[in-house]
Copies of this chain bind each other. A is one copy, B any other.
């Protein structure tokens, strides 16, 4: 029986959408890409609000259901398409991987999101240098904790947990991409950099990268 196609509403540079693209690619799931341009405000149009009342990307539409929040979408994909797994089997190990993922998804990314840095600019009237230091600050705090955990744990392998990529990697790599965009110093995080390099060689991460998306501007593509 053929599977109803899924539609992923996203934006090439949204790191939350980027996570879901990696998960779909790792699991070999086909989907239609539905770009929503955050720069021109398409996410606030009524058409998109009908799809996602929070007006954020990504949204995965499957069997006429709108699923929101990247980690909820990925846990759903893991439950209905368990192979290859994005989480280990043992509860304590699953907790480790989810904690690494949530460190990015709760404690780094939302504070540096476009809507937050926009608010810093207007109404708070903070200039670009202040906004850049803001992003660098929260990335630094989070990456320091992640690096310490990755460097110290015997669970760390070629990827964040063992030798296959999973939930922690698919959160970490989009955040490294963002870190480079705001020129956050990364030299103090050798394990993160090593895992980032391993992921860049993986076909699923290559397919999901911002520059490979249909809504990336031509000058960024390849």
* A-to-B contact residues, CB < 8 Å: 53-56, 63, 65, 67-69, 71-73, 75-76, 79-80, 91-92, 94-96, 98-99, 101-103, 105-107, 109-111, 116, 119, 124, 126, 130, 134, 137, 141-142, 145, 148-149
Contacts and interface: CB of A to CB of B under 8 A. Distances in A.
29 contacts: A53-B145, A53-B148, A54-B103, A54-B142, A67-B92, A67-B95, A67-B99, A68-B99, A69-B102, A69-B106, A71-B98, A71-B102, A72-B95, A72-B96, A72-B98, A72-B101, A73-B95, A75-B94, A75-B95, A75-B98, A76-B95, A76-B98, A80-B91, A102-B105, A106-B106, A106-B109, A107-B110, A111-B111, A119-B134
Nearest to A97: B72
A79 B56 contact: no
Given A53-B145, A145-B54, A148-B53, A69 B103 contact: yes
